[in-house]
Amino acid sequence: MEITTASPDTAVQPAAVAPVVQLDNVTVIYGTNRALKNVSARFANGAVGLLGPNGAGKSTMLKALLGFVKPDEGRMSVLGMDVAARPLDIRARLGYMPESDAHIPGMNAVSFVAYCGQLAGLPAVDAMQRAHEVLYYVGLGEARYRNVETYSTGMKQRIKLAQALVHDPDLLFLDEPTNGMDPKGRDEMLELVRDLAHNKGVSLILSSHLLPDVEFTCDHVVVMDKGQVAAQGPIKELKGPAGRAFELRIKGDLRGFIDVLTAAGMDVHATNEDVLRVFVPAEAGDQRAIFAAASRFGAQVRHLRPSVPTLEDVFAKALGEK
């Protein structure tokens, strides 16, 4: 399975259903720095991971979609509405969990979340009721009368999720939601995110540089690198079918054997000193093709086992790492 890579012309893969977010040739420039370069991307319904190393342009993309940053070129739509034309209608239907610590000073948690609900248009009584509900949902029920400024890092992450949820958005933007959380808190946060996307019908975009977080919660992924889309699509498709990837160790000329496998149409990655990860495309056959190539080349296969492709492979391939 080939990953759709870098070129803006080929980066877009049509989604099966109408995308919740769509970017067409979007460019954002900060001074002399091109944070987004002619980006075209589609985010399908459900949970979509926005992956990329630091500085790849993930947060800039979210901020452009929120209307915080005006693109220099291109068009964006969220939930079928044009970002430039209907920013308020869009923001009424989406929730944003920022990456950095953010709260309204001088408020306890329940007042803060209720206040955010009112800002989103909820009547005061409903906002207060929803605030209690979402605070219980995110696990802050017992701490809801504490001033937010006294919260730990993990609690601050949870309250940012609560304020994003209080008005029952159709779409959530989560910017690094597990930053600074301990392992238990991180697992709980990921469970919440997964639950929202898979059981509560809330579409979400999870921006993260942590591959396991995205792999656990998301069905689709958009990989960003240096302000461009490096790959996008359903994670299952990008990872390729199970059983067609193999870990391989041989005795013989490693470099020459890699060339032979590559010539046979296989995709080969050297993962460490002597272990190869080999992707066998459907037209090349199965593991027997590897044995046949080894036999022809005169190499001895010492180890061969099916490898489950990971998002890490997708990420590495998209970013051109060998």
Only one of the segments 132-140, 262-270, 285-293, 298-306 lies at the binding site for another protein (rule: CB under 8 A); that segment is 132-140
Cβ proximity to another protein, 68 vs 291, nearer residue: 68
Q: What is the dihedral of CA 281, 284, 287, 288, to 10 degrees?
A: 180
Instruction: Report how far residue 234's alpha carbon sits from residue 18's, in angstroms, rounded to the nearest whole number.
Output: 14
Give CA separation, 246 vs 133, 152, 309, 316, in Å.
48, 44, 9, 16
Only one of the segments 135-143, 176-184, 253-261, 287-295 lies at the binding site for another protein (rule: CB under 8 A); that segment is 135-143
Q: Is 85 in the site for another protein (CB under 8 A)?
A: no
Among the listed residues 18, 84, 85, 92, the single contact to another protein using CB under 8 A: 92
Q: Is 134 in the site for another protein (CB under 8 A)?
A: yes
Instruction: Report how far residue 136's alpha carbon sits from residue 80's, in angstroms, rounded to the nearest whole number.
Output: 32
Instruction: Report how far residue 191's alpha carbon sits from residue 185's, in angstroms, rounded to the nearest whole number.
Output: 10
Cβ proximity to another protein, 100 vs 262, nearer residue: 100
Residue 316 dihedral angles phi and psi, to the nearest 5°: -65, -40
Instruction: Report how far residue 239's alpha carbon sits from residue 241's, in angstroms, rounded to the nearest whole number.
Output: 7
Strand partners, 246: 278, 306
Among the listed residues 72, 89, 187, 312, the single contact to another protein using CB under 8 A: 89
Q: Is 83 in the site for another protein (CB under 8 A)?
A: no
Q: Is 142 in the site for another protein (CB under 8 A)?
A: no
Q: Binding marks (x or -) toward another protein, 167..206, rule CB under 8 A?
A: xx--------------------------xx---xx-----
25-64 residues near another protein, rule: CB under 8 A: 30-33, 63
To the nearest whole angstrom, how small is the minimum distance from the Cβ of residue 67 to another protein?
A: 7
3-state secondary structure 22-57: EEEEEEEEECCEEEEEEEEEEECCCEEEEECCCCCC
Q: Is 216 in the site for another protein (CB under 8 A)?
A: no
Only one of the segments 5-13, 117-125, 218-226, 306-314 lies at the binding site for another protein (rule: CB under 8 A); that segment is 117-125
Cβ proximity to another protein, 193 vs 314, nearer residue: 193
Only one of the segments 14-22, 83-91, 221-229, 232-240 lies at the binding site for another protein (rule: CB under 8 A); that segment is 83-91
SS3 breakdown of the chain: % helix, strand, coil, rounded to 5? 40, 25, 35
Position of tokens 């109408």?
18
Q: Is 264 in the site for another protein (CB under 8 A)?
A: no
Instruction: Report how far residue 49's alpha carbon sits from residue 220's, in angstroms, rounded to the nearest whole number.
Output: 6
CB atoms under 10 Å from CB of 113, counted, come to 30
Q: Could you say which DSSP state residue 276 is in?
A: E
Q: What are the tokens at 113?
A: 């979340």
Only one of the segments 162-170, 207-215, 232-240, 273-281 lies at the binding site for another protein (rule: CB under 8 A); that segment is 162-170
The number of residues that bind another protein (CB under 8 A) is: 50
Only one of the segments 19-27, 36-44, 88-96, 208-216 lies at the binding site for another protein (rule: CB under 8 A); that segment is 88-96
- Which parts of this chain interact with another protein (CB under 8 A)? 30-33, 63, 66-69, 88-89, 91-92, 94-96, 98, 100-107, 115-116, 118-123, 126, 130, 133-134, 136-137, 141, 149, 163-165, 167-168, 195-196, 200-201
